[in-house]
Structure 1
Amino acid sequence: MDVGPVEYVVIAFPGNHFNGEIVPEVRRLVESGIVRIIDLTFIKKDADGTVSHFELDALDPEEASPFDTVEGEIGGLLSEEDLALIAENLVPDSSAALLVWENTWAAAMVGAIRRAGGLLVQHERIPAPVVAQALEAAEL
């Protein structure tokens, strides 16, 4: 089975309440076959610095409900150490969604490279603000 590259993002939110605003876009990406959700974990850091983390099924039903229609193999991929490292970078009284996905759109390319005897030797992600700035500068 060919598998596309797997990526993760940590999306921080001020306060300790996730409102689900990003869910429609996540759902669109999954439904269109662009990505497959592998893991989704929420991290909360209270005002006193106390950290807790929750898989989707452990969240309050009100907070989890926006994800009811997002399909994927959600849960259990990240270690306690992974979550502790991410939590270190959160400011007190904030929360974060940690989302791990497979870029399913790239799985066929991975297979083609393998069948051709190729070997991917480097893969980098250029941050969107850097690309936007470069494109803006090029238009001048």
Structure 2
Amino acid sequence: MAVGPVEYLVVAFPGSRFTGAIAPALAEAVASKAVRIIDLTFVYRAEDGAIEIIELDDLDPDDLVSFEPVEGEVGGMLNSDDIRTLGESVPPGSSAALIVWEDLWALPLTEAVRASGGQLVAHERIPADVAEAAVSAAASASAR
């Protein structure tokens, strides 16, 4: 079974103010078949730095996005040590969503690369602030 690129992100909610407002955007990405959610975990980092992993069953289902895990058991994506390490990036007194997804839109490209004997030699994400600054600078330059 071919798998598209798999990525993760950690979204922190300072003061632990998670309201579920990201759920509709995530649900739209899933419904459009752009991504498949592989894992969704929540953590809380106490003021003293202690990290608590919050089970999905403990959250309000109205604040969540339903997701269909990939067929079979997916192991090794994020284990409890990974979750705790990522949780250390969350500011104390905050909660965070850890989202792991497969880029389904890239699956045909992945298959074509493999079928042609190609191989991936680099894949990096350009930070959002760098990309936004570059697009803004290009827009300003073209407006002159």
Give the structure-2-normalised TM-score: 0.85
Verify the 8 A CA contact 2:51 2:88 in the aligned structure 1.
Answer: no
CA distance in 2, matches of 1:127, 1:90: 18
Once residues 80 and 121 of structure 1 are traced to their aligned partners in structure 2, the CA distance between those partners, rounded to angstroms, is 29
Amino acid at match of 2:23: V
Is 2:7–2:102's contact at 8 Å kept on the other side of the alignment?
yes
1 CA distance for matches of 2:116 and 2:55?
39
Aligned residue in 2 for 1:73: 69
Counterpart AA for 2:16: N
Corresponding residue pairs, total? 136
Cα deviation, 1:95-128, whole Å, max 9, x if unaligned, reads 1000000001101111001111111111111122
Q: Which runs of 5+ in 1 are unaligned?
A: none
- Misfit runs of 4+, over 6 Å: none
Give SS of 1:72's match: coil
One-letter identity of the residue aligned with 1:55: E
Unaligned runs of 5+ in 2: none
After the TM superposition, which residues 52-91 of structure 1 pair with which residues of structure 2 at under 5 Å, given as runs?
52-57=52-57, 59-60=58-59, 62=60, 64-67=61-64, 70-73=66-69, 77-91=77-91
Q: Which moved more, 1:73-82 or 1:45-54?
A: 73-82
In 2, distance between residues paired with 1:90 and 1:35?
25
Residues 43 and 54 of structure 2 are in contact (CA less than 8 Å); yes or no, is this contact kept in structure 1?
yes
C-alpha RMSD of the superposition = 1.9
Q: Residue 101 of structure 1 aligns to which amino acid in structure 2? A: W
TM-score, normalization: structure 1?
0.87
**What is the 5 A alignment of 1:12-51?**
12-51=12-51
- State the identity as a percent: 46
Partner of 1:20, secondary structure, is coil
Q: Find the aligned partners of 2:67 and 2:91 in 1 and give their Cα distance.
A: 30
